[in-house]
Chain A
Amino acid sequence: MNAARDPASIEIGPRLADQLALRGVSRRGFMQFALGLTAAMGLPFGMSQQVLAAIEDTTGRPAVIWLHFQECTGCTESLLRATHPTVESLILDLISLDYSETLLAAAGHQAEQALADSIERNKGRFILVIEGSVPMRDGGIYCKVAGKTPQQMLHEIAPHAAAVVAIGSCASWGGVQSAAPNPTGAVGIPEALQREGITRTDGAALPVITLPGCPASPYNLLSTVLYYLTLQKLPALDAKGRPLFAYGRLIHDNCERRPHFDAGRFAEQFGDDGHRQGWCLYKLGCKGPETHANCPAIEFGDVGGNTWPVGIGHPCFGCTEQGVGFHKALHEQAEVESVTPPAFFPEVFAEHPGGATLAGAAVAGAIGGGALVYAVSAGQKLKAAEAAESSAAAESEAR
């Protein structure tokens, strides 16, 4: 595709088709992947061609700098260990991932030099992905990379970024480290930037996209990146900076167990009859009713067949929602944000054969018979009226 281009303009790798072949990805599989991501972004299917084109265009890839603060690297792991990692890591390759503490081949001063070079080369154009929270207590001494605290790194790097993606709950709102008593004073990236007063070099506010989740769904990162590559703008965000296409609705709204909630069928204990039947986990402390994420729609871990926490029988613990995940106890019942079902619940199953019963047939017959009687009597009256009319007409003619 781009073989004739100046090699310097292609930052990563040779042709996409070669890479796909190298990794054993069929063209068909690749198309399906692109279609799936188009749907995940909430874009119309007609745009899948544009998405495809954006994936295939190897020029103009934004450089990405990936920083790790206080975290467990779970987000990176889940991104790399998805079931079809070939395609996912390909995307990772295709964004020009210039610096990532997990994936770098280089180490030590060489790595830090790569970071400095990339910032210099891509000033104002690179995307800064941050995984992990910022310890605000004691100047952030609880987390250091190359002798620098997260605060220092943010001051150095963030002003030059085009946008910041805070991946995972830690980066979005503090995550598990921010749970009481929060010994390091951990906060998410949006709050850290605000408290440190960090803006772009030109003084404009730095756009921050948060992708909470513990770990964040890899598809939400891929979709966000692709959205940017396809439309050259950031997706619509909610008040907490989360892309609406992924976090616009409550887990409860799309949950496959929702009908059980509405019908009052709850698992009361782990392993009880209702739990085995796949009933609603609300009473076991499921936070689905107050947590916004697309897990029920795209599931998790890429295994298919209802594999996401609620799907396999564990209550949602609200990892994408500040103040819910790691803050509320697992068994605590959620605040139901949407409509609650009526207090009266009908029986779970109404047993009836569905066929005609004697009473049913009798009522149907009575209705039919009654209608016939009414119709016939109206017919009779009409007949009389008709006769009267025609005799009147005959009389007036006779005169």
Chain B
Amino acid sequence: MTNMTEVYRPIGGRLLTRHFYFLAVLVLIGAYFTLRRFIFGIGDVSNLSDGFPWGIWITYDVVSGTAIACGGYAMALLVYIFNRGQFHAMIRVALLASAFGYTLAGASILVDVGRYWQLYNVFLPQYMNLNSVMLEVALCVTLYTLVLWIEFSPAILEAMRAKRALRFVRHALFFFIGLGILLPTMHQSSLGSLLIIAGHKVHPLWQTPIIPLLFLITAIAMGYGIVVFESLYAAVNLGRRLETDLLSRIGAIIPWLLSVYLIIRLGELAISGDSVYLWQPGLEPWLFITEIALFLYAIWILFDAKKRQRPTQLFWSALAVVLAGTLYRFDAFLIAYNPGPGWHYFPAVGEMMITLAIIAFEVMAYLFFVKKTPILAADS
């Protein structure tokens, strides 16, 4: 591997900006609703019901949230599996976002699960049901969250100047990097498998036995998308140099993934005959078309080497990938999900505020870490 000696530096600057306070207010509002949830129950703050036991907490915080947090996984694939050392400079910031995404996804489970005090049973071997997809997701996500923090720990240890611990971690890191690639491959596909069990409740345009593969591919694409988006967004807002060259090379991977995804997805629809549902009235075909349009837009921009070199084009196409992947998950889990007559779901205010607080907290933590610890590669 080349160029493994890049220097990471805290970027410094004032932490308590106007935006930071705004985010803090959002977190406080979310904390208020979280408190209500634990005192008065889930029904008090959410619109969850027996028909829709999974609302935005699962669909956004867990399913989309961990896919968006696949930046660390996607970059690790690139750097360690495909041996592209030139991207190593970006791995820490990608890992940071992943660590937060996964930790908060896990934390949001605590809010979402009705009998949260029973959650520890998941980890007791004698109670495990080894045929359960849910068990696989639960264990895998927990383990991966730990692995992410271990992978990320050198940054914290460097900031703490804990030289001995750092040396120790560096020796063991290769093992955790391996795990860090294996585990998301397992659970990102399992998140899709969860839907297979839902059967006909999921609209036929989304329901397919190969949904695990589709979830895995989009999760990786979203991982690269978020790395590009985040880097550009952070660069303009934190006043750093644009890394357009590196980003365009990462961006170049996305259209290949998306093309494979689209071929599999559309091919499966054609073979299974479910494509007839495209011509039926209702919202679902439009949602489907929106997803595909967003994916096609990203493919169109990112396949073009010239367009790929322009930061604005990169920015919007990366955002389109993340949005399309998120919409895909929302459609499959919520919008095109029909538990039967009489059930309706639109997230309640409290529910949305809790999710928003989680996102706000992630951004606050991101700002804290990049300003105070060596995450971003030093501008040369």
Q: What is the interface of chain A, defined by CB distance below 8 A to chain B?
A: 248, 259, 262-263, 339, 341-342, 344-347, 349-350, 352-357, 359-361, 363-364, 367, 375, 378-379, 381-383, 385-386, 389
Give min CB distance, A348 to chain B, whole Å: 9
**Residues of chain A contacted by B126 (CB below 8 angstroms):** 248
Whether A385 pairs with B242 at a CB distance below 8 angstroms is yes
Complex formed: what's the CA distance from A359 to B51 in Å?
22
Complex formed: what's the CA distance from A385 to B118 in Å?
52
Whether B233 pairs with A354 at a CB distance below 8 angstroms is no
Could you list 9 further interchain pairs (A-B, Cβ under 8 angstroms) beyond the known A349-B43, A382-B312? A346-B41, A346-B44, A354-B345, A357-B349, A360-B352, A367-B352, A378-B232, A381-B236, A386-B310
**Residues of chain A contacted by B302 (CB below 8 angstroms):** none
Query: Which single member of B117, B315, B344 contacts A353 (CB below 8 Å)?
Result: B344
**Residues of chain B contacted by A262 (CB below 8 angstroms):** 115, 117-118
Given contacts A350-B43, A375-B319, contact A385 B311 (CB under 8 A): yes
B356 interface contact, C-beta 8 A: yes
Specify the main secondary structure of chain B where it touches its partner: helix
Pairs across A and B, CB under 8 Å, 17 listed: A339-B118, A342-B117, A345-B41, A350-B44, A354-B343, A355-B47, A357-B346, A357-B349, A360-B47, A364-B347, A364-B352, A378-B237, A379-B315, A381-B237, A382-B315, A386-B310, A389-B244
B54 interface contact, C-beta 8 A: no
Complex formed: what's the CA distance from A259 to B114 in Å?
10
Give min CB distance, A251 to chain B, whole Å: 15
Most buried by B among A344, A353, A355, A382: A382
Whether A363 pairs with B237 at a CB distance below 8 angstroms is no
Given contacts A363-B353, A367-B356, A386-B310, contact A357 B118 (CB under 8 A): no
B32-47: CB near A (< 8 Å → 1, else 0) gives 0000001111111001
**Residues of chain B contacted by A354 (CB below 8 angstroms):** 47, 49, 51-52, 343-346
Complex formed: what's the CA distance from A259 to B115 in Å?
9
Complex formed: what's the CA distance from A389 to B236 in Å?
13
Which B315-373 residues sit within 8 Å CB-CB of chain A? 315-316, 319, 343-349, 352-353, 356
**Residues of chain A contacted by B344 (CB below 8 angstroms):** 353-355
Whether A341 pairs with B117 at a CB distance below 8 angstroms is yes
Whether B312 pairs with A357 at a CB distance below 8 angstroms is no
Whether B316 pairs with A379 at a CB distance below 8 angstroms is yes
Whether A352 pairs with B40 at a CB distance below 8 angstroms is no
Whether A360 pairs with B349 at a CB distance below 8 angstroms is yes
Give min CB distance, B51 to chain A, whole Å: 7
**Residues of chain B contacted by A386 (CB below 8 angstroms):** 310-312
Given contacts A378-B237, A382-B232, A382-B315, contact A346 B40 (CB under 8 A): yes
**Residues of chain B contacted by A347 (CB below 8 angstroms):** 40-41, 43-44
Complex formed: what's the CA distance from A364 to B114 in Å?
24
Complex formed: what's the CA distance from A98 to B233 in Å?
84
Complex formed: what's the CA distance from A353 to B344 in Å?
7
Given contacts A367-B352, A378-B315, A379-B316, contact A360 B233 (CB under 8 A): no
**Residues of chain B contacted by A389 (CB below 8 angstroms):** 242, 244
**Residues of chain B contacted by A346 (CB below 8 angstroms):** 39-44
Complex formed: what's the CA distance from A349 to B312 in Å?
50
Give min CB distance, A358 to chain B, whole Å: 10
Complex formed: what's the CA distance from A288 to B349 in Å?
40
Complex formed: what's the CA distance from A399 to B43 in Å?
69
Complex formed: what's the CA distance from A102 to B160 in Å?
79
Complex formed: what's the CA distance from A341 to B38 in Å?
12
Q: Which residue of B lies closest to A383 (CB)?
A: B312
Most buried by A among B51, B126, B349: B349
**Residues of chain A contacted by B353 (CB below 8 angstroms):** 363
Whether B236 pairs with A382 at a CB distance below 8 angstroms is yes
Complex formed: what's the CA distance from A356 to B312 in Å?
35
Query: Which single member of A248, A341, A356 contacts B346 (CB below 8 Å)?
Result: A356
Whether B346 pairs with A382 at a CB distance below 8 angstroms is no
B299-320: CB near A (< 8 Å → 1, else 0) gives 0000000000011100110010
Complex formed: what's the CA distance from A379 to B314 in Å?
10
A-B complex: 7 closest residue pairs judged by Cβ atoms: A350-B43, A346-B41, A356-B346, A381-B236, A355-B344, A354-B344, A354-B47
**Residues of chain A contacted by B41 (CB below 8 angstroms):** 345-347, 350
**Residues of chain A contacted by B38 (CB below 8 angstroms):** 344
**Residues of chain A contacted by B40 (CB below 8 angstroms):** 346-347
Which B102-138 residues sit within 8 Å CB-CB of chain A? 114-115, 117-118, 126
Complex formed: what's the CA distance from A354 to B117 in Å?
26
Complex formed: what's the CA distance from A363 to B40 in Å?
22
